Amino acid sequence: MNYEDSVLTLKGVGPKRGAALADHQIKTVGNLLNCYPGKYIDRNVLKSFDEFTEDGVLSIKALVLGQGRVQRLGGSLSIFSIPLLWDEAKITGVFFNQPYLKGTLKENQEYYFYGKLEKKGEKFRLLNPQFAPANNPGRFFELTPVYKKIQGVPKDGVRKMLIQIFSDHLIVEDKLPESIRQTYELPTMASALESIHFPKTMADVSKGRERLKFNEALKINMGIMSNSARVKYSDISITHFGGMNALMANLPYELTQSQQSVIDDMISDFNSGQVMNRLVQGDVGSGKTVIAVIAACLMAQNGYQTAYMAPTEILAQQHGRSFRELLKNTGVTVEIITGSLKTQERREILERVANGETSVVIGTHALIQDAVDYYNLGLVITDEQHRFGVKQRGRLSLKGNQPHTMVMSATPIPRTLALILYGDLSVSYIDELPKGRKPIKTYCYDEASLHKIYGFLEDEMKKGRQAFVICPFIEASEEMNEVSDIESVYIDIAKRFDRNYHTGFLHSRMGNDEKEQIVREFNLGKINILVATSIIEVGIDVPNVSAMAILSAERFGLSQLHQLRGRVGRGEHQSYCFLVTNSKSPETLARMKVIVKNTSGKKIADEDYRLRGPGDYFGFKQHGLPDIGVLNPMEDLALIEKTRELAREIFSSGDKEMMVFRDSVLQTFFKEIEEISLN
Ligand code: ADP
Ligand code: MG
């Protein structure tokens, strides 16, 4: 059997199961081999009664004391209870809906059991345990891998398919050159996969994982490296600072020290003789835009153009306005390219960009990276807002004559991930908020309090402030009984507020013109309360908004909630955020608490990571990288660094085998990132 063979060649996999697997991108035998178990059931450690401290899953050896008894509960429901002796303690084995077990467990015989043991009062119950006769335990003590559940495939389906694959002369080609494998003392792929799927001990698992992690780390490093391979030298430099005074006079505030030091970093990069490749990381509201404006202004005064790429059209519009406002009287010309431009208008703008009349071009990446010809592009700024991926970034350096690049991001990413994502990028941090900002007061309520919350929003509006109501859905859906779709919420809001206030709504399915108009009116304060989807997550910067209610807040991820909340508290007013959820699940409430208690994006990201656990490596998919199976960017820093060195060597090697290997890795990498949709 080969890596490339279709899963349909396996026994027991027909069109139906094939489709279920395909839904999880499992189409070939190779894909199946790459489904790594999330955990292993290890029944090896037998617990004695003395060691019992609290309820939990464990393995024990116990003697069956009687035949047990089945209690019918109606329908197919039943409970089979059987008395057991565990060391000196009498406990009860309890099996749900398995009446046929009566007679299977023999009186006066010893068995191994594995299951959850519960203590209620003085009574012990062992729930639904797996078991095997002590004199013939069979596979009881083998490690059992646990695979993620796939809808439409039975619980042990993946394991059965893998057993079939491994018993049928599986041929696993190892692309990694033998010399590398030896140097790093790695097992072959065939043996790594075998020890992942059929380990005898946890040490086998580690050994196999090591090899798989190595593959992943090397692949990602090579992919990124090839992506950012660029000429290093640059003669795009800054010598004139003349017009900066006019710009500074336009700023309604003083720069924070952090902002100033980012600008210093940037200027020294511009004049270093090398291409700048800098990440500016700062929490929502820390004031990254003005840094972009200053950079663009410096470029313009020295005869270079700047392209500014925003993740959404709304954001492009918003930034266009900020840029124009801050650049007035400086002579720096700004154009915004949007999807709604008329053909003629668009042609004229492109013309002005091509002949150098326009200094700053703002748009989404789709709009300005392919179709636009620049006269003299000096700087590309990507407002990443955690939306752009490696793919887009790879392309942007293709424009012009090796322009400087700057990426702005509000997502705090662990150092390892930054290293992977950005390679040789330098990083500047904005680690303070502008003076006078008051931390946003955040509360969590259930829907019953909605009335009061709206009353609160109204009080804010009475003071002249504006408010947001955020809904996760555009349309009502039948299964959901929450009222958190735009339609019904807006009706509610309009009923309540229309008499005294202007209301509006905004979501992604509206036409561009309509969206722009709503945003414009909201910016001007003509709309007092705006009902919106997460579309406003990035790009609305209205310091007058002081209150926000987020409905069905459990539907949003932590970092998204943080971004959403970042739309208020952008001015001097005390601001408020209400998380509304009817969920009672402890996990949800724990997540809400994180937002209520913390205002720093960094803290929230850490908590997010902690709550989701290391099984969910945040950031990879989001950044357009292939999903990783076993690599843990938080823990595998050393490996990531080691394989980066190796990637570098592979790139500079003239050895035939290395070159073939390199091409095959890159081919896989790019195929994988092509398949990721960044929406
Ligand atoms: P982000 O980092 O989220 O992109 P913005 O650049 O949109 O933040 O800035 C958020 C708000 O803070 C804007 O209204 C901006 O005018 C304001 N701002 C930026 N820098 C300062 C500063 N140094 N002092 C006061 N307000 C500032
Ligand atoms: Mg911003």
Q: Which fold has domain 441-598?
A: Rossmann fold (3.40.50)
CA distances for 596 relative to 545, 558, 571, 579, 593, angstroms: 19, 11, 20, 8, 5
Helix (H) or strand (E) segment spanning residue 495: helix 486-497
Q: How much is the pTM?
A: 0.62
Helix (H) or strand (E) segment spanning residue 429: strand 426-430
Mutation probe of ligand 1 site: the residue of 290, 317, 564 with most atoms within 8 A of C-beta: 290
What interhelical angle do 486-497 and 450-462 show, nearest 10?
A: 50
* pLDDT recorded at residue 401: 63
Ligand 1 atom closest to 256 (CA): 23
Ligand 1 atom closest to 289 (CA): 6
Nearest to 57 by CA among 1, 110, 113: 113
Q: Do domains 43-131 and 242-430 have the same CATH topology?
A: no
Q: What's the gap in Å between 310 CA and the centre of ligand 2?
A: 9
Poorest-pLDDT segment among 221-235, 312-326, 637-651: 221-235
| Rounded percentage of the chain residues whose pLDDT exceeds 90 | 54
Q: What's the gap in Å between 502 CA and the centre of ligand 2?
A: 27
CATH for 43-131 is 2.40.50.140
**Residue 298 — φ and ψ, nearest 5°?**
-60, -45
Per-domain residue ranges of the chain = 43-131, 172-225+623-679, 242-430, 441-598
CA distances for 201 relative to 136, 141, 214, angstroms: 20, 10, 21
* pLDDT recorded at residue 114: 95
The answer to whether residues 129 and 115 touch, using CB atoms and an 8 Å cutoff, is: yes
**Residue 404 — φ and ψ, nearest 5°?**
-65, 150
Q: What is the pLDDT of residues 526-537, one digit of tens each?
A: 999 999 998 887
Question: Which two structure tokens, joined as six digits, stand for 111?
Answer: 């068995």
Strand spans (E) along 475-621: 503-506, 529-532, 545-550, 576-580
Nearest to 593 by CA among 456, 448, 603: 603
What interhelical angle do 586-597 and 601-612 show, nearest 10?
A: 160
Q: What's the gap in Å between 286 CA and the centre of ligand 1?
A: 6
Q: Is 396 left (phi over 0), alpha (psi -120 to 50) or beta?
A: alpha
Poorest-pLDDT segment among 164-178, 325-339, 633-647: 633-647
Q: Please report, as a single letter, which amino acid is at residue 448.
A: A
- The pairing of strands 56-64 and 110-120 is antiparallel
Number of helices (H) and strands (E) in the chain: give both, helices first: 22, 21
Ligand 1 atom closest to 566 (CA): 3
Q: What's the gap in Å between 410 CA and the centre of ligand 2?
A: 8
184 pLDDT exceeds 80? yes
Pocket of ligand 1 (CB under 6 A): 253-256, 259, 282, 284-290, 410, 434, 541, 543, 570
* pLDDT recorded at residue 612: 65
Question: Which two structure tokens, joined as six digits, stand for 273?
Answer: 């003789």
| Residue 345: CB atoms within 10 Å | 12
Average pLDDT over residues 165-188: 92
Mutation probe of ligand 1 site: the residue of 435, 541, 544 with most atoms within 8 A of C-beta: 541
CATH for 242-430 is 3.40.50.300
**Cα dihedral 85, 86, 89, 91 in deg (nearest 10):** -70
Quickly tell me which residue has 């989001």 as its tokens: 622
Please enumerate in sequence order all residues whose Cβ is within 8 A of that of 47, keeping only pairs 6 or more positions apart, or say none: 58, 59, 60
* pLDDT recorded at residue 662: 92
Strand spans (E) along 261-339: 277-282, 305-310, 334-337
* pLDDT recorded at residue 256: 95
What interhelical angle do 313-326 and 512-523 show, nearest 10?
A: 40
User: Of 311-320, 366-375, 609-618, 621-630, which has the strongest mean pLDDT?
Assistant: 311-320
